[in-house]
Structure 1
């Protein structure tokens, strides 16, 4: 059981483990996703999370998975991942203090790699980067991380894009899911006014957890920060008003801000990052003064879900789903409510439509050369000089601008224009030449629509 055979490739600094013990662990983990957090030096577990129908891992299995990583370090080898059957195991070390391990057979490797980064950033959000880099007491760290667990659970849950029990956004490489509303032209000034009354410049309005509009200051936050802050809304989303101390993983990883979340109407929230003032007891009056005359507009904007595109944008017959991504800003919008399709006795649900589009998108960005060697998106920072920006753009430059899939039940086509990628799910009867024309037209219609801000 403990005999290992290593196949090592010095070029990529990665090796594959052909190991009967890991195969046995994988069989135990099948049909589930497991996330493990350990102290890198001691190997002691910090927490273990799972989603699926399998029981939690025993300590011996956790220790064995960590032992494989520790053994590789002794051999001066960087262990990143191993693939077994249809599954993957990923190890990631952060600052030499925290190790995260992801095991799944439900998702692609780039999914789990991005999820581990999001989970570590979520840990920073609640306990600060310094505390994670140099934990003084492991038991105290475990206790301090408990408020973070609901957010981590939501992140893991969002990997299941076919989950129909929740309306909250699916996980897509740490990107923020948006909703396109013509009403934003009215709501954005109201948001700016409300945010300034709160003594801040960082504010965002979200509908069903999806980004609707943000202040100028909000757009300067990193995609990881915006993604996690909007995920906070889905925790106890029925509360009308709440605040939480948060560390921003890039802007302020060691000095806490205050995230104030207000429910304006059901499933419509505003989140503001501010200081200690104003007091929570004063926020209700500020909300009423800022938003009272916009409640009807908010109700209209809320009706854009689940189509997520304005009603003025009509899709041709044969289009079953659309996913539009802006990979520079790491945001996307997807429609889950287009034409239902029945094939014989097989009915494709809205969740199934999105799951197909999501999987196709993950393969498309690999075809377009938009993933780095760690299978995470090439991110272009917002605040940077032009020379740095051009060098990052050059590293992701690819001559591929279109890609497609064909199957018995459906077709998919993706078109890349500048920083936008438009992925469209079609009925199987739609020919390729027609798909290419429709996809390009859809993207041009969205980009040219002056009533929406994309």
Structure 2
């Protein structure tokens, strides 16, 4: 249907199958195929069968999802390339796209389609966000929240001063919801931001902030997909430095003018040097400067299962490597392998961290395979040896660690390397 490694997203009304938009691959699917994809889903529903996904002989995948019994989203990926897009990635993509549409338009507008042509025009305001989500399925920026449904974080080495400033700034803006972003990662956030916002909401909020990053400040109305899907609130966003933004969710006050001209300079001007050091940390290795990883650790994803926060590390260089060490893989390839290994582990061995399926979905679909149901225990570790690297996954009550190491690491030593890495990071960051 599509060329290798291509991806296309379709949106139709669930009752009549009228197409609302198509985004993604430059080569659009013919209308006849779009109609067939909708028709086979409707045929199954009419006979008591629910069609969730399928895969062609050539490796293409199709995933369907109906939201609020109103709109159907269909993700289609091309097969035959070097790295096929997994079903889990497509499912998470559909969830994120729906949440983006709710965030911009509100749930009422999407759940009760009264005028299809009007909705077609209004949904265009979501195109930029949707295109960003499509790009992030295989991007090389190290942001994994769209897949893990966790908040991408930057653990700061000097967090107390930044936290105090953020709390004071947020309070002065008549809000309890504020965060500081460094290159799209949450460096600090207020207590209510962590406790009241769902990770899925944070993922789409960060995508929106990235889409607005070209402006120095903005005042944007948003609907929170879970917390406030029918009543809009204000998102105030200010650029403190290129790559550093502070965001606040608030009510009618303060005005954008007052916040930008009075509050931002008062609270953040004294911290400019601190913010520059945060940028340097994000550019260098994400982890604090005091923490040095082993030279044979090529990339890692660390998830805090309790707070639903995550750290993704893909070192640009490796210090201390022996002279005969194999060349380091490109960051794009390592992140690609990290996504594949995460998908491999959570669909076969590790327990689901997802929140219960929201009523927005037509049903609770199985994201995880039946493979793990045959176990009499809960798997805590797994490993995989590939032609490019060795992978090791470790699960504890509080954390999940996904580690990519050099091929020179003995397989029997992977567990020790993973345990040492987890201990070092948690001890240095308190993550």
Common fold, TM-score beyond 0.5?
yes
Residues 359 and 117 of structure 1: CA distance in aligned 2, closer, same or farther (over 3 Å)? same
1:258 alignment counterpart: 234
**Equivalents in 1 of 2:399, 2:255: separation in Å?**
41
Matched residue SS, 2:267: helix
Greater alpha carbon shift after TM alignment, 190-199 vs 229-238: 229-238
Number of the residue aligned with 1:366: 347
Equivalent position of 2:391 in the other structure: 412
Distance in 2, matches of 1:173 and 1:99, equals 23
> In the alignment, is residue 44 of structure 1 matched against residue 25 of structure 2?
no
User: 1:217 aligned to 2:192?
Assistant: yes
Distance in 1 (alpha carbons) for counterparts of 2:328 and 2:380 = 32
Asked if 1:442 is matched to 2:429, the reply is no
1:195 pairs with 2:174: no
Please report the TM-score for the alignment, with normalisation by the length of structure 2: 0.88
Residue in 1 that maps onto 2:68:
95
Which residue, 105, 125, 130 being the options, matches 2:103? 125
Inter-CA distance 240–397: structure 2 relative to 1 (3 Å threshold): farther
Contact 2:350 2:395 in 1 (8 A): no
Contact 2:342–2:402 under 8 Å retained in 1: yes
How far residue 205 of structure 1 moved from its aligned partner, in angstroms, is: 0.7
**Structure 1 match to 2:338:** 357
Counterpart CA distance in 2 for 1:278 and 1:45 is 40
Query: Structure 1 pair 229/398, CA: closer, same or farther in 2 (3 Å)?
Result: farther
Aligned to 1:333: 311
- Residue aligning to 1:19: none
Q: Measured at CA, do residues 129 and 170 of structure 1 come closer, stay the same or move farther in structure 2, by a change above 3 Å?
A: closer
1:282 aligns with 258
1:368 positional shift: 3.2
- Cα distance between partner residues in 2 of 1:210 and 1:217: 17
**Which of 383, 402, 411 is the equivalent residue of 1:423?**
402
Matches within 5 A, 1:42-441: 42-51=16-25, 54-84=26-56, 85-104=58-77, 105=79, 106-162=84-140, 171-219=146-194, 220-284=196-260, 285-306=262-283, 307-339=285-317, 348-371=329-352, 377-379=353-355, 399-441=378-420
- Bigger relative contact order, structure 1 or 2 (CA pairs below 8 A, ≥6 apart): 2
Does the aligned pair in 2 maintain the 1:174–1:227 contact within 8 Å?
yes
The equivalences for 1:13-52 within 5 A come to 26=1, 28-51=2-25
Aligned residues: 403
Q: Secondary structure at the match of 2:147?
A: coil
2: CA distance, partners of 1:277 / 1:397: 56
More strand by share: 1
Q: CA deviation at 1:134?
A: 0.8
Specify the SS of the correspondent of 2:146: coil
Q: Alpha-carbon deviation of 1:344?
A: 10
Q: Contact 2:349–2:379 at 8 Å: present in 1 too? A: yes
> Tell me, what secondary structure is at the counterpart of 2:34?
helix
Give the 3 Å change call, closer, same or farther, for CA 328–119 of structure 1 in structure 2. Answer: farther
What is the CA distance between 1:315 and its match in structure 2?
1.2
Question: TM (normalized to structure 1)?
Answer: 0.84
In structure 1, C-alpha distance between the alignment counterparts of 2:118 and 2:44, rounded to whole Å: 29
Question: Following TM superposition, by how much is the alpha carbon of 1:407 offset from its aligned partner in structure 2, in angstroms?
Answer: 2.3
- The secondary structure found in structure 2 opposite 1:62 is helix
Mapped to 2, the partners of 1:60 and 1:81 lie a distance apart of 19
TM-fit CA distance, 1:258 = 0.7
Shift of 1:369: 3.5
CA apart distance, 1:91: 0.6
Per-residue deviation, residues 269-293 of structure 1 (Å, max 9, x unmatched): 0111111211111111111111111
Check conservation: 1:403, 1:415, Cα contact below 8 A: yes
Deviations 1:341-376 (A, max 9, x none): 9999976101211211121112112233424xxxxx
Is 1:326–1:419's contact at 8 Å kept on the other side of the alignment? yes
